[in-house]
Amino acid sequence: MRFGKVYLVGAGPGDPGLMTVRGLRLLRHAHVVVYDQLVNPVLLEDVSVHAERIFVGKKAGHHCIAQSEINSGLINYARRGFEVVRLKGGDPFVFGRGGEEAEALADAGIAFEIVPGVSSAVAVPAYAGIPLTHRNYASSFAVVTGHEAVKSKSSIDWAKLATAVDTLVILMGLHNLPAIVAKLVAHGRAPETPVAVIHRGTTEQQQTVIGTLADIVEKSAALKAPALIVVGEVVCLANKLDWFGLDRVEFAKVKSTPSNHLDVS
């Protein structure tokens, strides 16, 4: 029996228009689609009515399906000859456990393909008018997970990040924002350093709160996850470069028009 194939596809950061042409084409021809919590439901409208859809989304503190079960499911469907799209928010290899799933497929002898997606790490700041690098403000940036801020033995060297990297992008860090701020200030980052917290970036629900390390915890207290944090001088450009906020009404209008779907068939 001929095995099928698994495609680890990045769905982008939320705006369905940021889905890649390759990813959309695979989505339309898949036999099985296994998708995550942060995948925009609009993208599922392009899935064949004959395809099986399987939700495996995770929220903080609650996983409806264990990662090992997801891995086994992908392998089993491929062994039955199906073409499987594993649709993951952002990019599969940026804090999406895509590497773990690819390893499991490789170990099982299953053919797979990685289809990169637009990562929220770069797209969300861009939609908030924040360039991660700029000749006058920043020549380097780093992307880290906020989960590491409260671990007793963190894999992140906060001392180096605080002073050696111009722009910090912190994913999944809203709940641990007080600890993150405390670590950065304790290791030498100036309290007046600009900070942005962006909720549901690239979508109609996007909210951006601007502050400094000294006051961002208080200012962003009302925001809910998912949210992304940007720390660095580039944040001071947000108001000047806020193209998305000015274009929000038109964005919502376009997203509600069915005929706007990209045709890549």
For the chain, which residues make up each domain, given as ranges?
5-118, 121-246
Residue 251 pLDDT greater than 60, yes or no: no
Residue 254: what pLDDT?
A: 46
Taking alpha carbons only, the member of 58, 69, 17, 66 closest to residue 172 is 58
Give how far Cα 246 sits from Cα of 128, 150, 249, Å. 11, 37, 8
For the chain, how many helices (H) and strands (E)? 10, 12
Taking alpha carbons only, the member of 37, 211, 222, 38 closest to residue 118 is 38
Residue 196: what pLDDT?
A: 98
Count of other CB atoms within 10 angstroms of residue 46: 17
Distance from C-alpha of 66 to C-alpha of 217, rounded to nearest angstrom: 32
Classify residue 117 by its DSSP letter. -
Work out whether the CA dihedral 156, 159, 164, 166 comes out positive or negative.
Answer: positive
Confidence of residue 154 (pLDDT cuts 50, 70, 90): confident
For residue range 190-242, list pLDDT tens digits in order. Answer: 999 999 999 999 999 999 999 999 999 999 999 999 999 999 999 999 999 99
Does the 121-246 domain belong in CATH 3.40.920.10? no
Work out whether the CA dihedral 116, 121, 122, 123 comes out positive or negative.
Answer: positive
Confidence of residue 57 (pLDDT cuts 50, 70, 90): confident
Q: What positions carry a catalytic annotation?
A: 36, 58
The CATH classification number of 5-118 equals: 3.40.1010.10
Q: Are strands 52-55 and 32-35 parallel, antiparallel or unpaired?
A: parallel
Distance from C-alpha of 252 to C-alpha of 247, rounded to nearest angstrom: 9
